[in-house]
Amino acid sequence: MPQYVVLLRGINVGGHGKLPMAQLRGVLEGIGATDVATYIQSGNAVLRHGEKQPARLQKTIAEAVKAAVGLVPEVLVLRAADLRKAMDANPFPDAAMEQEGKALHLSFLAAKPKAFDPEPWEAAAGPGEAVRLIGKVLYLYAPQGLSRSKLAPKVERWLGVPATSRNWRTVTKLRGMLG
């Protein structure tokens, strides 16, 4: 069975979108997922499922979460190989371990943006910030932290596609959970 990484956006953030991870595991097992494991409280899971198309699994998970708890989170499903590929393509290898992996963020995109012009990003960047788009992943180096980033709030609006971001530390942990 294929192995997947499931990323839910907006779960358990600032007191909104409450979904305990034990309940998420139950929802995922209820749709036929096996070897389900979650990481921290922000909607990260790894699992195996017989579905061969990530987009269909995404829809199934979104519908199951809505039925179980009434939430309609943005759900992104990656093949295990896609997560590994995104990590291997990291254009900021020196930044990966800065601040214990919290200075580098990967925004996983629901689709490849139609266009990407780096000039506006560079012009809007805060101190030390840098951004690179590789395929369906936007890499954001934010040495002042994501909450102070000038670029982080612009990701979806400027790219025109849904996205969910994870710091390098979280991505590394998820990769380790894949085995």
> Residues near 26 by Cβ (< 8 Å), separated by ≥ 6?
68
pLDDT in tens, 69-80: 888 888 999 999
From residue 59, give the alpha-carbon distance in Å to each of 66, 77, 110.
11, 9, 12
Scan for tokens 């990260």, then name that residue: 44
> Residues near 111 by Cβ (< 8 Å), separated by ≥ 6?
136, 161, 162
Angstrom distance (rounded) from CA 51 to CA 31: 10
- pLDDT value of residue 95: 86
Q: Tokens for 172? A: 């590394």
Lowest-confidence region among 31-35, 93-97, 129-133: 93-97
DSSP assignment, residue 13? B
Are 30 and 82 a contacting pair, CB within 8 Å? no
- pLDDT value of residue 15: 64
What value does the mean pLDDT of the chain take? 93
State mean pLDDT over 62-66. Answer: 95
Can you tell me whether residue 22 is helix, strand or coil? Answer: helix
What CATH superfamily is the domain 3-82? SP0830-like domains (3.30.70.1280)
